Amino acid sequence: MYKMKKSVVKYRKEEDEWTIKVDLPKEWANEMGIKPNAKDVMLSFDGEKIIIEKASKRRLGKWRKKI
């Protein structure tokens, strides 16, 4: 099921850099299995959309090797 929610982007300056944060609905995080002890996510960007996926240990391991 497709869900949509309006949110506000929050900017915070830390020394010479900006941190950007967006709040996600807790219900969505729960449905994705994101919890305080399993909070790694994968972010991807196609030039127009940001996609957030729960990171599996296998995918996270491959990603960490790339950086």
Q: Assess whether pLDDT exceeds 90 at residue 66.
A: no
From CA 14, how far away is CA 12, in angstroms rounded?
Answer: 6
Average pLDDT, the chain: 86
Q: How far is CA 38 from the centre of its chain?
A: 12
Residue spans per domain, the chain: 9-66
Q: What percent of the chain shows pLDDT beyond 90? A: 57
Per residue in 5-26, pLDDT (tens digit) is 999 999 999 889 999 999 999 9
Beta bridge partners of 51: 44
Whether the full predicted model's pTM is greater than 0.85, yes or no, is no
Q: Assess whether pLDDT exceeds 80 at residue 57.
A: no
Work out whether strand 9-14 and strand 41-45 pair parallel, antiparallel, or are unpaired: unpaired
In terms of DSSP H, where are the helices of 1-67? 26-32, 57-66
From CA 39, how far away is CA 59, in angstroms rounded?
Answer: 14
